[in-house]
Amino acid sequence: GAGVSQSPRYKVAKRGQDVALRCDPISGHVSLFWYQQALGQGPEFLTYFQNEAQLDKSGLPSDRFFAERPEGSVSTLKIQRTQQEDSAVYLCASSRSGTSGPYEQYFGPGTRLTVT
């Protein structure tokens, strides 16, 4: 079946602009995660949804970052007033189950954000 999809694949924003990044998880997957990957680094956790509930947002770097998943399927990560340090690849992953396992996470291709 279809995997995780993300759009746009590439986004260039001027410093101070707001951006919205979209994630379509695998159909029926309960859990959805957002990660940020800087160049040459492993992905770092941002936030986690189980269905429409945001259960963990401890990784969001500032209050400029906001995520939602209103109907428990598609999710949007919004970054307000973008800064140069926000330049990174934003990855979305989904997992079939919630807290009871299994815990395999499947990743989308990512959105590469460049802030100029």
Q: Which of 29, 43, 69, 79 is close enough to bind other proteins by CB under 8 A? A: 43
Judged by CB under 8 A, does residue 1 bind other proteins? no
Can you read off the two tokens belonging to residue 79?
């970054």
Closest by Cα among 80, 90, 87 to 16 = 80
**Contact mark string toward other proteins, 22..41, x via CB under 8 A:** ---------x-x-x----xx
Tell me how crowded residue 38 is: count the other CB atoms within 10 A of its CB.
12
Contacts (CB under 8 A) with other proteins, residues 88-107: 91, 93, 95, 98-99, 101-107
Judged by CB under 8 A, does residue 75 bind other proteins? no
Q: Decide: 103 and 43 in contact? Cβ < 8 Å.
A: no
